[in-house]
Chain A
Amino acid sequence: MQQFTILQKKDLDAFISALAQSQKVVAPVARGYNNFSFSEVSSGKEITLKYIPTILPPKKYFLPTQETLTSYNKRENALDAILEYEKMIIFGVHTCDLAGIQCLNMVFADKPKDINYIVRKNKIAIIGLECNDYCDEYASCCVVDNHLPNGGYDLFFTDLGDIFIVHINTMLGDELVNKAAVFKPADAKALRALELLREKKRSIFKAEVKVKHEDLKPLFDRSFEHEVWKDLDKRCVACGNCTNVCPTCYCFDIVDEPNLDLNTGARYRRWDSCQNEPFARVAGNENFRKERSQRQRHRYMRKFKYPVDKYSRYFCTGCGRCSRTCMAEIRLKETINELAKGAK
């Protein structure tokens, strides 16, 4: 199996169209001014290659906003476990979102395994797409080490002008390439161009905050009682946008919904947000994270502290979505810099 192959840019349309003939293909599509979303496409023409992180990350395919866990029949006192999945190819996943998928994989493979997630994930082929430059000022992918590809894809596309150089990472990726029959073996020139691009990226991408990669965790270790959280308390409106758009936020609610016959129905899993007031409230009204400051702190700790202890990895991918979407202009880079300033 050759590691690298080349696709002429003009052949992208043919490649995507061929893929879409046999299965569902989703890719970044423009949605009004500076907004993009992963949506189903049938040709390469619909895809926007230069895009800033989509409104929702590809998480929505791995952990749908709502999915059926069980269906029931009350009269028969029967309950069946249900799995919903869809075979698809996701094209154009940036390195930040590849990291996000890797994080979710760790969480749901942690015992006891979440079978719904694991099966669904294995039905999805992932084609990555390199960012040659920063998407915008909200990104902080370098400080969390996600600006360069770190696996997690079947194929990985890098734009080299007239061509894409494509890294084949799995047998599934190899199959997709072979089936399409529009790829050419990578020549030395293209490989050299890729090397040069990566070198150039090393000079473009610099730690976006005043804290080094390895110092982020210690910073959060000592920041539990920092004043920054009080400041966020005043600004946060607890809308939950930040957690919805986060590629590694996976908290969910489980709800029963009866059908109109009141006999059958289903138990669903739905996205939930730790920023919502009732999230940690128990019956009897005790609320263990009553204040918005506590909930914002919790969100940050779940990116920079808790998962590092558990999975040895930052759960912030540096995509910048939480900052981009926040109505109260709570910016991750600012928060980290504030924490670093007055290390209380």
Chain B
Amino acid sequence: MKRIELKESEYIVMPAKILEARMMTAQEKYFKIALEGGFSLDHEPGQFVMVSLLGIGEAPISISSSPTKRSYFELVVRNAGKVTNALHKMEAGDSLGIRGPFGRGFPVQILEGNDLLFVAGGLGIVPLRSLINFVIDNRRDFGKVHILLGCKKPADLLFADEIKEWDKRLDVNFNCTVDKADPDWKGNIGLITSLIPGVNLNPKRTFAVVVGPPIMYKFVLIEILKKEIPEKQIYVSLERHMKCGIGKCGHCQIAQYYCCKDGPVFSYDQIKGNQEAL
């Protein structure tokens, strides 16, 4: 058996440094990361990276920041497994490895010039934020923007400060709901589906982008289809188990698609009736 070092390999990681780290909720930690050597990640909104911790392993994590921020990128990670557990113990100044960006992101070129309806449930705001902030940073290139946000309880709300800013903006129609309120909560109470009927939109020129937990899609999509938005104009981002990120290892397969390569963003048109998808 011969063993040689490869100069090129899909499994080489880029060294990166954590610039900032803080708990965002009881379960989710925020990381601001920069690649070593001043390189830009150069991702598309909706793509993901493999975060690599030596001796522990790799995990696929959605990129939460807009590519308009070129000197760093942001991740929000729930402590849910071996790698994310170790990641939660890391702080500013610590080093980690990055592979990627991977996958097909949101079709920004197609969305340009159109009205947008963003629907995020729970952790769905993490990947969707990359697109929302991209749109806000290029606000003039898009039509009307509606953002609907839902989570279980007020304490689960991610990017709370930033969301306040979205709410204040004149050029964004923002609405938020929680399943279960606490005494300080002044907003809506109820499932995210309850916010959709009230949105005033022109279905012909509106693109809907929906990201949330698997259970959410069915119900939200019913409400969106009631608004008569064409199936081709609805996009979702799906979560799957991933190991390689390059469409080989098989873990993320959704019927004929590899979620890591053909997704994670799919149009509803593409996966409609695909029982493995939704």
B2, B3, B55, B80: the one within 8 Å of A262 (CB): B55
CA of A55 to CA of B167 in the docked complex: distance in angstroms? 63
Do the beta carbons of A282 and B241 come within 8 Å of each other?
yes
Report if A256 contacts B (CB, 8 A): yes
Report if A252 contacts B (CB, 8 A): yes
CA of A110 to CA of B155 in the docked complex: distance in angstroms? 45
Do the beta carbons of A114 and B248 come within 8 Å of each other?
yes
Do the beta carbons of B11 and A252 come within 8 Å of each other?
no
Do the beta carbons of B9 and A69 come within 8 Å of each other?
yes
Q: B252 — which chain A residues lie within 8 A by C-beta?
A: 280
Do the beta carbons of B249 and A72 come within 8 Å of each other?
no
Determine how close the nearest CB of chain B comes to the CB of A8; give it in whole angstroms.
34
Do the beta carbons of B12 and A81 come within 8 Å of each other?
yes
Q: How large is the interface on B (under 10, 10 to 19, 20 to 34, 35 or more residues)?
A: 35 or more
Q: A87 — which chain B residues lie within 8 A by C-beta?
A: 2
Do the beta carbons of B255 and A301 come within 8 Å of each other?
yes
Report if B182 contacts A (CB, 8 A): no
Count of chain A residues with a beta carbon within 8 Å of a chain B beta carbon: 53
Q: Would you call the interface of chain B mostly helix, strand, loop, or mixed?
A: loop
Q: B13 — which chain A residues lie within 8 A by C-beta?
A: 70, 79
Do the beta carbons of A306 and B247 come within 8 Å of each other?
no
Report if A112 contacts B (CB, 8 A): yes
Do the beta carbons of B4 and A284 come within 8 Å of each other?
no
Do the beta carbons of A254 and B241 come within 8 Å of each other?
no
Report if A305 contacts B (CB, 8 A): yes
B30-59 vs A, CB cutoff 8 Å, 1 = contact: the mask equals: 000000000000000000000011111111
Q: A255 — which chain B residues lie within 8 A by C-beta?
A: 57
B225-261 vs A, CB cutoff 8 Å, 1 = contact: the mask equals: 0000000000000011101101111111111100000
Report if B222 contacts A (CB, 8 A): no
Do the beta carbons of A284 and B80 come within 8 Å of each other?
yes
A164-192 vs B, CB cutoff 8 Å, 1 = contact: the mask equals: 00000000000000000000000000000
**Given pairs A85-B4, A306-B255, 13 additional interface contacts (CB within 8 A):** A69-B9, A79-B12, A79-B54, A81-B6, A86-B1, A112-B246, A114-B248, A115-B8, A255-B57, A258-B55, A274-B250, A274-B253, A283-B80
Q: Which A residues are within 8 Å of any B CB, using their own CB?
A: 68-70, 72, 74, 77, 79-87, 107-108, 110, 112, 114-116, 224, 250-256, 258, 262, 265, 267, 272, 274, 279-284, 286, 288-289, 294, 298, 301-302, 305-306, 309-310
